[in-house]
Structure 1
Amino acid sequence: MVRPNEEVEALLQEYADLIAITGGEAFKARAYEKAARAIGGHPADVSHLDAAGLRKIPGVGRSIAEKVVEYVRTGRVAVVEEKRALIPAGVRELIAIPTLGPKRAMALYEDLHISSVDQLADAIEAEKLRDLKGFGERTEENILHGIALLRQAGGRIPLSTAMETAEEIVTGISLITGCEHCAYAGSLRRMRETVGDIDILVAARRSAPFMDALTELPSTAEVVAHGTKKTSIRTVDGVQVDLRVVRPDAWGAGMQYFTGSKAHNIRTRTIAVHLGLKLSEYGLFETEGGRRVASRSEEEVYARLGLPWIPPTLREDRGEIEAGLRGELPEVVTERDIRGDLHTHTDLTDGLTPLEEMVAAAAARGYAYYAVTDHAPNLSMERMTDEKVLAQRERVRSLDGKHHGMRLLHGTELNIGPGGEVDWPDEFLRGFDICVAAVHSHFTAGRAATTRRLVRACENPQVNIIGHPTTRLLGKRPGIDADLDEVFAACARTGTALEINAQPDRLDLGDEDILRARHHGVRFAVDTDAHSIPQLAYLRYGVGTAQRGWLTPDDVINTWPLRRLRRFLAKDGRR
């Protein structure tokens, strides 16, 4: 289900954490973290590489390569097992709490014998932490917030993880004789940012072959239920998958019903009742007599209810029914509408891939234009300098138009400081084609200060896009506290776009904030923030989030032709 690269990335990251917990050298832990990221973002399947091939990946030395080979060959790494044995399982549970960290987790275990999340919450309530060295009242508040985030995430999984699992299962099941249709449904089809479980629907005349096939998948760890109408399994990654089989002539009704949401389905069933009909997963039937009047396609079902086909991403009962009845349902943006990516990185800063390779990969996606936006110097860990970025500009200019005519924009991702200031003076910034500005620090400043910070960045004539505007990390970090309506108004007033960051752990802005911002007249950019070639494919998650926010192509600046985009980036000619 999960790419081998991601499995290895998780293993090496765990080993880095274990090194930190056991008091190992900080540089060694950082080396494993760097290698983990490099392998996770490597485009080739590392399970097919030998040690020599692995060592060609930046940050992967001889020792790390040998561990990867050992894991691919045996499914385990001896030194990792040894480290795990030194650490109580409860401490590893504590590490999962956002804001805590490995060293503090170990300190809590050694000093207070805390080995579970519940014990930690009780200890904080009893104010036992504040007397420990390195802890305090503010630390307790931060950890409590981290526990709340962990519990809020519950058993839900990231959209991207669910998508990879679902598509692999759909591909396999579609090959079984007798399958007329197979697709995923539920919250995954609606592109929710996290997914509780995966719903797979099959149209076939016999259900048994498909039910049996699901239970026999290599990735199936547990069979939860095995029946003729529904089978549920849990994968080795802990994801529950529910498979249902419907007759081919009920496919449309089944997809409409199992896609949901619950609130949307209640509305469609209510409309059916008012029309003297009954709607179920088997079809749309006349209440009197029971004659089926629609079922083969979703379009047919919706049409019989007096509605246009409603995109799955809109089916949340947030006005889509009313808009459909009025004939005002938006033509939402699609991946095909996106002409270019406006926020990406290379190995000049924290990316994993050289400029030339990122450009070639973007061109292969059929883009008309593409922006390179490496970090600016105020993010000191990236060690950017004027000389480095100007040298990159020359390389970008030399590649402009060389790949299928794709035009290149040289940009930067600026850091929005505590007062709203950004890296580099205006005169230097005028040399860039595009500037993305984002918050990377001081996340806990007060609401008024954070709002002023973002508004000031919007008012900067050199800033074109506010990147990952709330800074949230799903299940790990909440968004910053700001008066977003004031920020949205400032974006609309100054001609500054808001980013929909497609990284699966961000999806920032989220759909509800997009809906609010749209009413202010804000423009948006759907970007991947890609740090490696595989991450360019994250665009689909950003587009799904944009659809959930009811955005049309006209709302999204990177669907526009380059000439119109350049006019927008000029911010009324001030660049």
Structure 2
Amino acid sequence: MARPNDEVEALLKEYADLIAITGGDAFKVRAYEKAARAIGGYPTDISRLDTSGLREIPNVGRSIAQKVAEYLRTGRMAVIEERRTAIPVGVRELIRIPTLGPKKALRLYEDLHIASVDQLAAAIEADALADLKGFGEKTQENIRHGIEILRTAGGRVSLPLALDTAEEVITALSGVPGCRRCAYAGSLRRMRETVGDLDVLVAARRSAPFMAALCDLPTTGDVIARGAKKTSVRTTKGLQVDLRVLPPESWGAGLQYFTGSKAHNIRTRTIAVHQGLKLSEYGLFDAGSGTSVASRTEEEVYARLGLPWIPPTLREDRGEIEAALRGTLPELVTERDIRGDLHSHTDLTDGLAPLEAMVEAAAERGYAYYAVTDHAPNLYMQRMTEEKILAQRERLRELDGTRHRMRLLHGTELNIGPDGEVDWPGEFLAGFDLCVASLHSHFDQDRATMTRRLVRACENPYVDVLGHPTARLIGRRPGVDADWEEVFAACARTGTALEVNAQPDRLDLCDEYILRARAHGVKFAVNTDAHSVPHLAQLRYGVGTAQRGWLTRDDVINTWPLTRLRRFLRRSVRG
């Protein structure tokens, strides 16, 4: 279920955008953005708080607390609705284009009456922006590229939104009398980085009660189509949900079929044909007699085809069929295998929770070890100093082993500079238990320069993990351009792990790059990059991405016992 915190976070972010579009005070915009992040990352359900309780959340003042309380009480926030009416929807859509800020969006609307992404794309192609101040050739090229990114994302949504919606629907439908089984399928079950339509399956004898229940859900905005076998609705958040009701005896075949992918299903159907069988969503049948030979479980269907059960995250026709036939399918890493998180932040820099709260939350997750890696000083906005980081280390040592005997590692997230240099000299870095190095700026360097930059960072003897390596933000910013084969080879040569960053807007490395890097013998770290207590639960998305990249426990350093992990973290280099 979606948390009220998440709903309010989205609203406040939208309000900050609306203020910016209308030329509002920049300080006010930042205040609402900070409040949004603080509420989204607050561990307590804010629906239980009154106005005074809301004001105890960092960066939430009296005015914002009152607006939040209004929303929790009435389901609406009047100031947002007023701003919405004053700004065309198309203009609000324009600011979703990467590189196009609110001020430029407003100028396009006021000067050229552009109020949609399509209109802007047409205006650029017609060279209609040439005389508009601030929209030179480079700016237009950046906007054109941003439109391509936005269109590539299309109507797809993030994993958390899709999963929240799926869990709400499944909870509701599972309570309808006659429900034997209920689950989600499709790209969400395969843990793709974004989801288009949400596929939900029910096993039951009668379909009508479930179709009615889906249409009557509070989260259902529009009913697209309603039938006996399939009903499609669009939620109030814009996600299409397709519900199919199957006979209980067809559950396994239906789950296999609607999980996909299309390419994987073509392969399984081909195998069936070669065996004189026919595979559909209703079962595996003898092609001649029409007799059902398997259908109740996925395991039964795959076994009858001569295959072991194939994990959904592998079903992309990227060699999983061949591996299954050879008996060499990997034993994929699972969330239970992760012994600790090696990348997280506190309120010493841009995190939302104090050190003690993050440590306590990590211990509650059952971790054997946990690393705090606040930003180093070259990310200037964080104003880190040697004194601050050393004071944190002292406090971390005091807490070490006091929470369910969990061991604590003191690390830092270094900034990879334009030439590949990192914050702090080697003698200071030697005092850390681990160092994550990440790109935070200069994303537009050419391929050769970026490659040298990343390789140089890997060659630094104190860099243990390359954090969110491509620096992409899904649907907002593409990954940097580099010769990744050269970077992966450098990681393998230097023993630098590549991060699989679990933040849903990153999922960086992506599955395709993981597969390529794994071929070089690289090791990986599946981390949350948590900036608040709730972010620690995002590990599931990183693990799903790791599975799509065929990673096993042995590939992932934070599944290892602490003694093996410490050996990997170059203790000999640090003395």
What's the TM-score, normalizing by structure 2?
A: 0.98
Corresponding residue number in structure 1 for 2:234: 234
Are 1:325 and 2:325 an aligned pair? yes
In structure 1, the residue matched to 2:140 is 140
Q: 1:226/1:55 Cα in 2 relative to 1: closer, same or farther (>3 Å)?
A: same
Partner of 2:95: 95
- Aligned partner of 1:558 in structure 2 is 558
Write out per-residue CA displacement over residues 416-446 of structure 1, whole angstroms, 9 at most, x where no aligned residue: 0000000111111111101000000000010
**RMSD over aligned Cα atoms:** 1.3
Q: Are 1:461 and 1:574, in contact at CA under 8 Å, matched by a contact in 2?
A: no
1: CA distance, partners of 2:325 / 2:257: 19
Query: Secondary structure in 2 aligned to 1:432?
Result: coil
Partner residue in 2 for 1:379:
379
Aligned to 2:272: 272
Residue 370 of structure 1 aligns to a residue whose secondary structure is strand
> Where does residue 171 of structure 1 map in the other structure?
171
Matched, 1:61 2:61: yes
Counterpart code for 2:100: L
Amino acid aligned to 2:386: D
Indicate the residue corresponding to 2:533 in structure 1: 533
Alignment map for 1:458-477 (pairs within 5 Å): 458-477=458-477
Cα distance in 2 for partners of 1:378, 1:518 equals: 31
Matches within 5 A, 1:3-42: 3-42=3-42
Q: How does 1:17-416 map to 2 (within 5 A)?
A: 17-416=17-416
What amino acid is aligned across from residue 67 of structure 1 in structure 2? Answer: K
For 2:529, give the aligned amino acid.
D
1:85 Cα deviation after fit = 3.6
Residue identity in the other structure for 1:197: D
Residues 461, 573 of structure 2: 8 Å contact kept: no
Is 1:495–1:571's contact at 8 Å kept on the other side of the alignment? no
The superposition leaves residues 357-397 of structure 1 with CA deviations (integer Å, 9 ceiling, x where unpaired) of 11111111111000001111100111111111111111111
SS of 2:131's equivalent in the other structure is coil
CA distance in 2, matches of 1:287, 1:185: 26
- TM-superposed deviation, 1:79: 2.6
Write the distance in 1 (CA, Å) between the matches of 2:525 and 2:262.
Answer: 30
Task: State, as a whole percentage, how many aligned pairs show the same letter.
Answer: 77
Once the two structures are superposed, the pairs formed by residues 426-465 of structure 1 within 5 Å of their partners are 426-465=426-465
CA contact (8 A) 2:276 2:287 kept: yes
Displacement of 1:117 after TM fit? 1.2
Structure 1 residues 130 and 571: alpha-carbon distance in aligned structure 2, compared to 1, 3 A threshold: farther
> What's the offset of the Cα at 1:24?
2.3
The alpha carbon displacement at 1:74 in A equals 2.4
SS at match of 1:285: strand
Q: Give the distance between the partners of 1:131 and 1:413, measured in 2 at CA.
A: 43
Structure 2 residue matching 1:212: 3-state secondary structure: helix
- Residue 243 of structure 1 and its aligned partner are, at CA, apart by 1.1
Shift of 1:89: 3.1
Q: Is the 8 A contact 1:464 1:571 kept in 2?
A: no
Distance (Å, rounded) in 1 between the aligned partners of 2:122 and 2:239: 30
Letter in 2 for 1:541: Y
SS of equivalent to 1:420: coil
CA deviation profile, 1:238-278 (whole Å, cap 9, x unmatched):
11111111122211111111111111011001101111111
The answer to whether the 8 A contact 2:431-2:574 is kept is no
SS of residue in 1 equivalent to 2:422? coil
* Letter paired with 1:19: I
What secondary structure does 2:384 align onto? coil
Structure 2: which amino acid aligns with 1:337? D
Partner amino acid for 1:35?
A: A
Residue 48 of structure 1 and its aligned partner are, at CA, apart by 2.3
* Structure 1: stretches of 5+ with no match in the other structure: none
Shift of 1:168: 1.6
Deviation at 1:135, TM superposition (A): 2.5
Where 1:437 maps in the other structure, the secondary structure is: strand
Describe the superposition over 1:264-295 as per-residue Cα deviations: whole angstroms up to 9, x where unpaired: 01100110111111111111111121221111
Q: CA deviation at 1:128?
A: 3.1
SS at match of 2:343: coil
Q: What CA distance in whole angstroms lies between the structure 2 residues aligned with 1:85 and 1:510?
A: 39
User: Any idea what SS the aligned residue of 2:487 has?
Assistant: helix
Deviates more, 1:456-465 or 1:227-236: 227-236
Distance (Å, rounded) in 2 between the aligned partners of 1:250 and 1:82: 51
Q: Distance in 1 between matches of 2:14 and 2:206?
A: 45
Partner in structure 2 of residue 420 of structure 1: 420
More moved, 277-286 vs 317-326: 277-286
TM-aligned CA distance change 1:75 to 1:258, over 3 Å:
same
2:90 and 2:283 map into 1 onto residues whose CA distance is 50
Displacement of 1:115 in angstroms is 1.6
Q: Kindly tell me: are residues 169 and 153 of structure 1, through their superposed partners in 2, closer, same or farther at Cα, counting changes over 3 Å?
A: same
Provide the C-alpha distance between the structure 1 equivalents of 2:68 and 2:140, rounded to a whole number of angstroms: 38
The answer as to whether partners of 1:439 and 1:471 remain within 8 angstroms in 2 is yes
Question: Gaps (5+ residues) in structure 2?
Answer: none
Q: Distance in 1 between matches of 2:218 and 2:42?
A: 25
Amino acid at match of 1:287: A
Distance change in 2, residues 1:81/1:204 (3 Å): closer
Asked whether the 8 Å contact 2:346–2:532 carries over to 1, the reply is yes
Tell me which amino acid in the other structure corresponds to 2:527.
Answer: D
Task: Answer yes or no: is the 8 Å Cα contact 1:488–1:520 preserved in 2.
Answer: yes
Contact 2:420 2:456 in 1 (8 A): yes
- 1:572: Cα distance to partner? 5.9
Task: Please state if 1:481 is matched with 2:481.
Answer: yes
Which residue identity does 2:81 align to in structure 1?
E
| Shift, 1:126, TM fit | 2.7
What is the distance in 1 between the residues matched to 2:88 and 2:302?
Answer: 55
Contact kept? 2:430, 2:574, Cα under 8 Å: no
Instruction: State how far apart, in whole Å, the 1-side matches of 2:389 and 2:130 are.
Output: 45
Residue 77 of structure 1 deviates from its aligned partner by 2.5
Does 111-120 or 371-380 show the bigger shift? Answer: 111-120
Matched residue count: 575
| 1:211 Cα offset (Å) | 1.6
- One-letter amino acid of the structure 1 residue matched with residue 533 of structure 2: I
Three-state SS of the structure 2 residue aligned to 1:472 is coil
- Following superposition of structure 1 onto structure 2, how do residues 483-502 of structure 1 map, counting pairs within 5 Å? 483-502=483-502
Point out the more displaced range, 150-159 or 105-114: 105-114
Contact 1:567-1:573 within 8 A present in 2 as well? no
